[in-house]
Each structure stands twice: as structure tokens, then as C-alpha cells.
Amino acid sequence: IDEASMVSDEIDKNTSFAKFGSGDLLGDILSYDTKGKFIFVGDPCQLPPINQANSPALSASHISAKYKLQTSEFEMTDIIRQANTNGIIQASFKLRNLFHTNPNVKFADLPVKGHSNIFIENSHAGMLNRYIEKVKTFSFNHSTLICQTNKHCSDLNKIIRSSLQNNRERICEGDLLMVTQNNYLTNLVNGD
């Protein structure tokens, strides 16, 4: 099971999204085939499930204690698909080290300056202008903008769309759309 860092074992009673199974995804998976073997693959440095501090599916001790199952745990550390000289990869190693060492500091200093492929902007306007120019020059396939919240994403999308589409507010031919909630009637899922 890939991307297992997001597999929860706590039922969220306050969610506005559809609930699948019992709402305890990890428990449902493990009870699906009680004699089966499961391999959970994921990155513990990625987001844990909503309202959980850690990723339960990636913790052998948690699965062993809560579900009384025999477990083994392994960590892969070599990156194969990207060159170690890639600035984003180098910065990610530094961030991962901070995650593991958890330094006692009041304000974090992200170690991303001075790496290739990473650009630091001092303002939203500068960041948006750089992103829009990259999209115009290289298309959406070579530019990525990551937002903290869906609202922030929506707000920035309106500004970017206005700049790229000459202030057209309606969907038009050539637009890229992203599905933000699963819709199984149309076979569209979150992230498509």
C-alpha cells in the first residue's frame, strides 16, 4: 500500500467528506484479510493523517501494540530516480535531518537557500510573477506552485488565471482543471 503515511486509524467524527468503511482505514485494511500480509510503503516525513501526530501505518510498534500483529520495519534511504546533485534533493536531505534531530529552536530556518532548482522570493507578488513567467515560457509541465491551504490555492489560482487568460473568469478551452473532492459517479478522484 503506497503513500501509507496518510493511512489513518482514528475515526474523524467531524469530517464533511464521505466516510469509507468504518472510517478507520488501517483497521479496515488489516481486518480485510486476517491471514494476509501487508506492505505499507511511505515516507514518515510526509504528512500524517489529519488530526494525528504520526503515521500509524508506518509504525511497526504501533501496529504490533494496537492490532497484536507481528511486524517488521525497514527504511529505504537511497534515491534512485533523481541525481543527488539536484538542489531540491540536497535540500530535502537537510530538511529530513532536521526532522530526525528536532533541534530546539524558537524559529526554524529552512536550509533551502543556495540550491539549484530552488528560488526564494521575498513577496507573494514576486513569487507569482516568477511562476507566471515560468508558465508562459515553459508551460505548466515545468512549473510547480505549492500552497498551504485550499483557500490559498484558490486565491492564487484566481490571480494566475486572470493573468494568463486575460481576466476571463469562466472555464475555457485549454484550461487545466484539478479535482478537489472524489466523485465516483464520474470516475474523478481528488488530485486528478
Grid coordinates representing 164?
Answer: 494568463
Radius of gyration of the chain (CA): 21
Q: Counting Cβ atoms within 10 Å, is residue 57 exposed (0-12), middle (13-18) or buried (19+)? A: buried
Whole-angstrom distance, CA of residue 192 vs CA of residue 189: 6
Local confidence pLDDT in tens for the 192 residues of the chain: 999 999 999 887 776 666 677 888 999 999 999 999 999 999 988 888 888 889 999 999 999 999 999 999 998 878 888 877 888 888 888 888 888 888 888 887 888 888 877 888 889 889 899 999 988 898 877 777 888 887 888 888 888 888 887 666 777 777 777 787 888 888 888 878
148: alpha, beta or left? (left if phi > 0; alpha if psi -120 to 50): alpha
Structure confidence by residue, pLDDT tens digits, 44-56: 888 888 888 899 9
Q: What is the pTM of this model?
A: 0.62
CA proximity to 116, closest of 89, 98, 96: 89
- Give bridge partners of residue 183 from the DSSP assignment: 188
The CA angle 176-179-180, to the nearest 5 degrees, is: 130
Whole-angstrom distance, CA of residue 85 vs CA of residue 50: 33
Structure confidence by residue, pLDDT tens digits, 17-43: 666 778 889 999 999 999 999 999 999
Residue type present at position 136: K
